[in-house]
Amino acid sequence: MIIETERLILRPWGEDDAEDLYTYASVPDIGPPAGWPPHTSVENSLEIIRTVLSAPETYAVCLKENGKPIGSIGFHRNDLAEANDEYELGYWIGKQFWGQGLIPEASREMLRYAFEDLGMNRIWCGYYDGNEKSRRVQEKLGFVYQRKTEGIEVSLLGEIRTGHSSLMTKERWQRVELFRHQRKTLDTFLQNGAISRAQYDKSFGDLCELMEMQGVE
Ligand SMILES: CC(C)(COP(=O)(O)OP(=O)(O)OC[C@H]1O[C@@H](n2cnc3c(N)ncnc32)[C@H](O)[C@@H]1OP(=O)(O)O)[C@@H](O)C(=O)NCCC(=O)NCCS
């Protein structure tokens, strides 16, 4: 399966990606926040491609401009997502690409794919205590916070952590998509001069409140 977004191609990992994977996954700010250790060598990255990233519904996040992988995104089943119509979404992206909204962009398309093509009804997403960047990604996507869980064993790092989980149901996702569509319409009205900035701000505020979409982008 190959998934396309405005700036990205999501496609399965291949053994040829080991060097690029090592470049990004050896940086200590990437794996540990997600619960896994930094990669130690290109050979280690190759092993991870063979054993972990070859799992179904796991995709290399590649820049459209050169096709090279810069991160990873995928669905898996675990304690949060146990039923056949549920998945958990996981993601990371190379540090030099942070802050460009690339993971939200990839995730939006993954959500569409999960609900429309894979027949899923619930997508979970989690983050460990203190991972504000990932918390914010989930908020922007419209996930709804569910609960805090203490005493989670992070076996690959030999640590005990507190985790937070959030959920996107199919119904919520349809409302998020509608909200984003309505916001785009407002944006167009503002750009055309059909409404003033003050009218825009008022309408946008009302829309967020009415649809319960505070913080969603
Ligand atoms: C979490 C992560 C995937 C976000 O991806 P991204 O494509 O950068 O997402 P965004 O561009 O939407 O940025 C999300 C938030 O990160 C923060 N952020 C962005 N760039 C940053 C930077 N250079 N330094 C610190 N924080 C930054 C901002 O708060 C931003 O929110 P905003 O859009 O409201 O400003 C990425 O930071 C990452 O790979 N982190 C390490 C691995 C990880 O934590 N994975 C998730 C495990 S649950």
Torsion of CA 87, 92, 98, 102, to 10 degrees: -40
Q: Give the model confidence (pLDDT) of 62-116 as tens digits.
A: 999 999 999 999 999 988 998 999 999 999 999 999 999 999 999 999 999 999 9
Low-confidence ranges of the chain (pLDDT < 70): none
pTM here is 0.97
CA angle 138, 104, 136 (to 5 degrees): 35
Helix, strand, or coil (residue 23): helix
Looking from the CA of residue 134, the nearest atom of ligand 1 is 1
CB-based pocket (< 6 A), ligand 1: 30, 33-34, 91-93, 98-104, 127, 131, 133-134, 136-137, 140
CA 176 to centroid of ligand 1, rounded, Å: 21
Looking from the CA of residue 132, the nearest atom of ligand 1 is 29
Q: Residue 79 has what pLDDT? A: 83
DSSP string computed for 50-114 = HHTTTSTTEEEEEETTT--EEEEEEEE-SSS--STTEEEEEEEE-GGGTTSSHHHHHHHHHHHII
CB atoms within 10 A of CB 71: 25
CA 97 to centroid of ligand 1, rounded, Å: 9
Q: Residue 58 has what pLDDT? A: 98
CA 103 to centroid of ligand 1, rounded, Å: 8
